[in-house]
């Protein structure tokens, strides 16, 4: 598949949007005697959460404050996810619930954006069935929010923007980050893999990588601001570097970020197994700031199903990567995604997936019953297995994973581990929660002042969802 020409939104286009932001702010100041309030909710993956931070940054530029209550909002924006059917259903349910609110408060604005809105069928449904929605814009039009909002506030008709295309890189947008300890840092956008079940290439566009100097500049600024964990994001970070003029891959980028001075750690997701190389594994082993955990979605333990999914690797090749990583990086842990009940999957093929998870012994599994996505190849495949049977398979798999998880958790007892304290715990007053470099959740009693610091904890007991210990 040919590489795409790298395209970027120009500085002039960003400047024009900032001018629209100023004009919208002026109009809103005439409408409200107080700063207008915005409610922004992002569904789905961490890439969507990162996009939500850009949306909030643009809205802050326009003069909005922020609220956690829809009822208090003058503007509601749902940043949507199209990966699974239930995510779409939740969006339509939430939008439907806004109708009576809008009837009581007709000046309230409602915006829908993100992956769902990049699909023409969804955009048309919103246009026809939800006439009270004011703004609809897809993933390629996020940077146009100031202009769309200005046009609507100034009295123009409902605004729709979901132009198709490969997508472009957008730099220089303001950000309003959701936390002060952990930060998401996108390194690339889009996907070229076209897995037969996945809608992402159609709604996120083709793969395009940010320039390494832009990524490194943002990473340095995050460290300067005191962030302790940086998660590098992309639909497939392992293919980072496509379309860039200089020869650079994800391993090279990791090494450069690892060289930044400061006490912080690096995570990344998501990795496609077909592009996970020995070079990447060796880089993780060499870089002391890169966490000893890899999210490596396998999806199925059957080679026939993997081929039908267009995953372009085999179970045998996947296991070779796992074994090499364990050889190079003692203590490394893995998480994975599993799809149960892919069209045409037999129970025997499902059991091959169960055997694979018993072989790999994943730290965490994200499991889903197959959900057909309009426009994908798998949506037209015969799917004879009843949903009830697929649910039974899923319960069977989760029971096996619970056993594995319990054993892995018990292995932590007695160990002394470095933990990033990132918030208050669930165990009651005085408990703090954190994560290890291997992605284990740990709770311990400590002053709230420890939040945001790396500390050492001795593990005393464990449950499946977390381990518990004391400060050392």
pLDDT score of 85: 83
The answer to whether residue 171 is domain-embedded is: no
What CATH number does the domain containing 400 carry? Answer: 3.30.750.200
Are residues 300 and 285 part of one domain?
Answer: no
What CATH number does the domain containing 239 carry? Answer: 3.30.750.210
| Residue 440 belongs to domain spanning | 416-471
Are residues 124 and 26 part of one domain?
Answer: yes
Are residues 397 and 427 part of one domain?
Answer: no
Are residues 45 and 107 part of one domain?
Answer: yes
The answer to whether residue 104 is domain-embedded is: yes
User: Can you tell me the distance from the alpha carbon of 424 to that of 443, in angstroms, rounded to the nearest whole number?
Assistant: 9
What CATH number does the domain containing 116 carry? Answer: 3.40.50.12160
Last residue of a domain, one of 133, 161, 189: 161
Are residues 378 and 306 part of one domain?
Answer: yes
Are residues 425 and 396 part of one domain?
Answer: no
Are residues 156 and 19 part of one domain?
Answer: yes
The answer to whether residue 170 is domain-embedded is: no
Last residue of a domain, one of 275, 291, 307: 291
The answer to whether residue 343 is domain-embedded is: yes
The answer to whether residue 6 is domain-embedded is: no
Q: Are 359 and 319 in contact (CB under 8 A)?
A: yes
Largest CA distance in the chain: 66
Buried b / exposed e along 42-68 (16+ C-beta atoms within 10 A): bbbbebbbbbbbbbbbbbbbbbbebbe
Q: Strand pairing of 265-269 and 229-233?
A: parallel
User: Can you tell me the distance from the alpha carbon of 304 to that of 345, in angstroms, rounded to the nearest whole number?
Assistant: 9
Are residues 357 and 388 part of one domain?
Answer: yes
327 CB-near residues (< 8 Å, 6+ apart): none
Instruction: Read off the DSSP letter of residue 169.
Output: B
Are residues 426 and 398 part of one domain?
Answer: no
Domain tally for the chain?
4
The answer to whether residue 39 is domain-embedded is: yes
Are residues 360 and 443 part of one domain?
Answer: no
The answer to whether residue 400 is domain-embedded is: yes
pTM of the model: 0.94
pLDDT in tens, the chain (472 residues): 344 445 789 999 999 999 999 999 999 999 999 999 999 999 988 999 999 999 999 999 999 999 999 999 999 999 999 888 888 889 999 999 999 999 999 999 999 999 999 998 999 999 999 999 999 999 999 999 999 999 999 999 999 998 777 788 999 999 999 999 999 999 999 999 999 999 999 999 999 999 999 999 999 999 999 999 999 999 999 999 988 998 999 999 999 999 999 999 999 998 999 999 999 999 999 999 999 999 999 999 999 999 999 999 999 999 999 999 999 999 999 999 999 999 999 999 999 999 999 999 999 999 999 999 989 999 999 999 999 999 999 999 999 999 999 999 999 999 999 999 999 999 999 999 999 999 999 999 999 999 999 999 999 999 999 999 999 8
Q: What is the DSSP string of 6-56?
A: P-B--HHHHHHHHHHHHHHHHHHHHH-SS--EEEEEE-SSHHHHHHHHHHH
The answer to whether residue 448 is domain-embedded is: yes
442 CB-near residues (< 8 Å, 6+ apart): 417, 419, 433, 434, 435, 436, 457, 459, 466, 467, 468, 469
pLDDT score of 6: 53
Q: Are 287 and 252 in contact (CB under 8 A)?
A: no
Which pair of structure tokens corresponds to residue 309? 């999914």
Are residues 463 and 366 part of one domain?
Answer: no
Strand partners, 455: 419
Last residue of a domain, one of 411, 426, 447: 411
Are residues 225 and 85 part of one domain?
Answer: no
134 CB-near residues (< 8 Å, 6+ apart): 109, 110, 111, 152, 158, 159
């Amino acid at each position: 598949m040919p590489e795409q020409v790298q395209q970027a939104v120009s500085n002039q286009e960003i400047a024009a949007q900032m001018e629209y932001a100023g004009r919208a702010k002026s109009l809103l100041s005439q409408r409200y005697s107080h700063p207008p309030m915005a409610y922004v909710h992002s569904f789905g993956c961490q890439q969507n959460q990162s996009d939500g931070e850009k949306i909030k940054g643009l809205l802050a530029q326009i003069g909005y404050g922020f609220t956690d209550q829809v009822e208090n909002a003058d503007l509601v924006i749902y940043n949507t996810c199209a990966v699974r059917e239930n995510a779409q259903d939740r969006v339509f349910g939430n939008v439907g619930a806004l109708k009576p609110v809008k009837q009581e408060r007709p000046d309230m604005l409602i915006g829908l954006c993100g992956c769902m809105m990049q699909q023409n069928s969804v955009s048309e449904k919103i246009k026809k069935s939800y006439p009270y929605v004011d703004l609809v814009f897809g993933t390629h039009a996020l940077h146009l929010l100031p202009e769309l909002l200005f046009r609507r506030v100034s009295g123009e008709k409902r605004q729709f923007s979901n132009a198709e295309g490969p997508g472009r890189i957008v730099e220089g947008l303001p950000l309003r980050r959701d936390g002060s300890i952990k930060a998401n840092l996108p390194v690339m956008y889009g996907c070229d893999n076209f897995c037969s079940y996945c809608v992402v290439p159609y709604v996120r566009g083709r793969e395009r990588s940010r320039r390494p100097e832009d990524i490194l500049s943002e990473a340095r600024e995050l460290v300067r601001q005191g962030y302790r964990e940086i998660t590098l994001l992309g639909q497939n970070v392992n293919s980072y570097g496509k379309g860039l003029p200089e020869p650079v891959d994800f391993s090279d980028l990791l090494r450069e970020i690892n060289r930044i001075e400061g006490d912080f750690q690096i995570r990344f997701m998501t990795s496609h197994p077909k592009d996970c190389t020995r070079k990447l594994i060796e880089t993780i082993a060499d870089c002391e700031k890169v966490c000893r955990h890899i999210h490596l979605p396998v999806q199925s333990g059957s080679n026939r199903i993997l081929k039908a999914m267009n995953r372009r690797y085999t179970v045998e090749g996947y296991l070779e990567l796992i074994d090499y990583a364990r050889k190079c990086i003692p203590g490394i842990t893995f998480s994975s995604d599993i799809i149960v009940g892919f069209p045409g999957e037999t129970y025997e093929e499902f059991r091959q997936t169960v055997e694979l998870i018993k072989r790999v012994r994943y730290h965490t599994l994200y499991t889903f019953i197959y959900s057909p996505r309009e426009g994908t190849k798998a949506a037209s495949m015969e799917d004879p297995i009843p949903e009830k049977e697929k649910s039974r398979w899923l319960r069977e798999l989760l029971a096996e994973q619970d056993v594995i998880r319990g054993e892995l958790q018990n292995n932590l007892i007695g160990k002394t581990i470095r933990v990033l304290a990132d918030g208050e715990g669930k165990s009651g007053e005085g408990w703090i929660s954190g994560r290890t470099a291997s992605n284990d959740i740990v709770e311990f009693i400590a002053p709230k002042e420890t939040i945001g610091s790396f500390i050492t904890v001795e593990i005393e007991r464990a449950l499946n969802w977390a381990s518990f210990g004391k400060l050392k």
